[in-house]
Amino acid sequence: MLSSADWAAISLTLKLASLTTLLLLLIGTPIAWWLAYTRSKLKPAIGAVVSLPLVLPPTVLGFYMLLLMGPNGWIGQFTQALGLGTLPFTFTGLLVASVLYSMPFVVQPVQNAFEAIGPRPLEVAATLRASPLKTFFAVALPLARPGFITGAILGFAHTVGEFGVVLMIGGNIPGKTRVVSVQIFNHVEEMEYLHAHWLAGGMVVLSFLVLLALYVLNPNPRKG
Amino acid sequence: MIRPFILAAILSGTSLLANADEVQIAVAANFSAPIKLIAADFEKDTGHKAVIATGATGAFYAQIRNGAPFEVFLSADDETPTKLEAEGKTVAGSRFTYAVGKLVLWSAKPGFVDAKGEVLKKGEFAHLSLANPKTAPYGAAAVETLKKLGVFDSLQSKIVQGENISQAQQFIATGNAELGFVALSQVWKDGKLTSGSGWLVPADFYAPIKQDAVILANGKGKAAAEALIKYLKGDKARAVIKSFGYEI
């Protein structure tokens, strides 16, 4: 059965995935909006940067974060100057890593949903003298709802499935950085296959339910 | 789509290569630097080729039990090869101690670790790195040392674990952990520390780390595997092993 260490890993994972999803909806929405409507020449470059985590192995992110966030890296020196210490081996560090790592999974569906609205409804709103801000909240957001649902679910699920980055910058600390994927790895390495089965089987069921929810709520997630 | 016959061609190609006097070695992470030198000499002197995989001893144990293709195993302890022997996964009579490891408390910063390890009692650091004590013998020795010093409970919240002893060292080398326990061989060459500062933990603080090598069932009757074991017992290899601070 599940031990108290397993439960600690589960609650930590859920906390990490929830906070990551929340942050990504806040940070990702303006990025997605900008990408959907900008005419800037920078659009392809920014779009490519946002999508990088889709392509890069997690070890690349883990390696650079370990160096940049460490006491000798520039991010590390910045966080130390703020009195925050360094980020590796902390929950905050994992949160920063997860936001970067899951970014495209939220931004892309939301961007697609914004693009699918097209200029017409926004122009109509403008002719009815709605301010750009009001247009965004009263017209664009409700119309893009399927994109937000898809983005939130994928962002959450992808963070739950994160492993390589956490292994490289986490330090395997119970209650702080030992998430479910790492705990499963520990169980397997320690030959505790029964424990591994409970957690791994649970992950299979949870992942299926999450994706099932996605397809029930959004029959055509690709269309946003 | 890869067509089946192409896949078959690729697979048979690799297995042909594996037959060409090649020995697949699983090596405990603490021995990764010495084995590179020894393997280079071995290849030069015998004409065989050594293919090296390094990792945590416990992880290799699980992999070997589940059919990993290794032919020789250089463990970080004597317990794991003994267990594999009892389970019939080795060539009987091939097991021997190739090195006795030493534990060191090490920091990448010069002067950070004092010659008596008092720095542990002061506790003026944020992170103490060690290898997972459940899978890595040097990690277990580190925990034994902390308990012997009576500081395990007070330092527990500062411990960060590497998946193996290499990762434990990497956390320290990148400065993310101020100090930690590693194998002497990782930071020692020709009679001195290669960098930083360290405290050589007295041998009576932890159970001796006798590191055993063994020919695995996959290596049975293979000339290259037998040659490697013979080579490890030779003077040339022993001189390399000693230069990294091991005893034999």
> A171–B162: do the CB atoms touch at under 8 Å?
yes
The answer on B86 and B26 residing in a single domain is yes
Domain span including residue B223:
4-100+209-243
Q: What is the pLDDT of residues A90-121, one digit of tens each?
A: 999 999 999 999 999 999 999 999 999 988 89
Q: Is residue B231 part of a domain?
A: yes
Q: Is residue B248 part of a domain?
A: no
Give, as one character, the DSSP assignment of residue B163.
S
Contact status of A194 with chain B (Cβ, < 8 Å): no
The answer on B137 and B94 residing in a single domain is no
Averaged pLDDT, A144-162: 94
B180: closest CA of chain A, how far (Å): 12
Residue A223 predicted with pLDDT over 80: no
CATH number for the domain spanning A157: value is 1.10.3720.10
Sequential pLDDT tens for chain B (248 residues): 445 555 555 554 444 444 458 999 999 999 999 999 999 999 999 999 999 999 889 889 989 998 899 999 999 999 999 999 999 999 999 999 999 999 999 999 999 999 999 999 999 999 999 999 988 999 999 999 999 999 999 999 999 999 999 999 999 999 999 999 999 999 999 889 999 999 999 999 999 999 999 999 999 999 999 999 999 999 999 999 999 999 98
> A89–B174: do the CB atoms touch at under 8 Å?
no
- Nearest Cα neighbor of B50 from B234, B240, B225 is B225
Residue A217 predicted with pLDDT over 90: no
Q: Is residue B195 part of a domain?
A: yes
Phi, psi of A90 (to 5 degrees): -120, 160
> A172–B132: do the CB atoms touch at under 8 Å?
yes
Domain count, chain A: 1
**Residue from A89, A94, A169 whose CB has the most chain B CBs within 10 Å, to mutate:** A89
Contacts of A139 (CB under 8 A, 6+ apart): A117, A121, A122, A125, A130
| For B168, nearest residue in chain A (alpha carbons) | A171
**Which chain B residues are within 8 Å of A171, Cβ to Cβ?**
127, 129, 160-162, 171, 177
Report pTM. Answer: 0.84
B42: closest CA of chain A, how far (Å): 31
Q: What is the pLDDT of residues B35-93, one digit of tens each?
A: 999 999 999 999 999 999 998 898 899 899 988 999 999 999 999 999 999 999 999 99
The answer on B142 and B114 residing in a single domain is yes
Cross-strand pairs, B199:
B105
Residue-level pLDDT at B20: 52
A93: closest CA of chain B, how far (Å): 12
ipTM of the complex: 0.82
The answer on B152 and B230 residing in a single domain is no
| Rounded distance between C-alpha atoms, residue A109 and residue A145, angstroms | 10
- A with B: how many residue pairs have Cβ under 8 Å apart? 55
CATH number for the domain spanning B163: value is 3.40.190.10
CB atoms within 10 A of CB A74: 10
Q: What is the pLDDT of residues A26-82, one digit of tens each?
A: 999 999 999 999 999 999 999 999 999 999 999 999 999 999 999 999 999 999 999
**Which chain A residues are within 8 Å of B132, Cβ to Cβ?**
172, 186, 189
Domain span including residue A64:
4-36+44-223
Domain count, chain B: 2
